Amino acid sequence: MLPSIRILAKDLRCSVITTKNAYEELVKEGYVKNVPSKGFYVAKVNKDIALEEQLNRIEDLMDKAVTIAKMNNINKKTLNEMLNILYEEDK
């Protein structure tokens, strides 16, 4: 269970309207569920949807990297080498 809108607004020293809007956005995005007369709760995350969101995020970043590489005449082989180095770096 999450804090009530009023309590959270007070703790964060922001307006109740701002807190309400934030909770509504979290509900809309599926991170929180609103149970009438009971409050707000953290929603169970659908792992497939969460994975798809992360893959979309990675694809957007890679698209930007490819665009920058092409603008600077950096070839695919160099990009692959960079990706391999970065991917293996933390192992």
pLDDT in tens, the chain (91 residues): 999 999 999 999 999 999 999 999 999 988 899 999 999 999 887 788 889 989 999 999 999 999 999 999 999 999 999 999 999 987 6
The model's pTM: 0.55
Burial 78-91 (b: 16+ CB within 10 A, else e): ebeeeeeeeeeeee
Please tell me the predicted confidence (pLDDT) of residue 17: 97
Please tell me the predicted confidence (pLDDT) of residue 30: 84
Residue spans per domain, the chain = 5-42, 47-88
Domain 5-42 matching CATH 3.40.640.10: the answer reads no
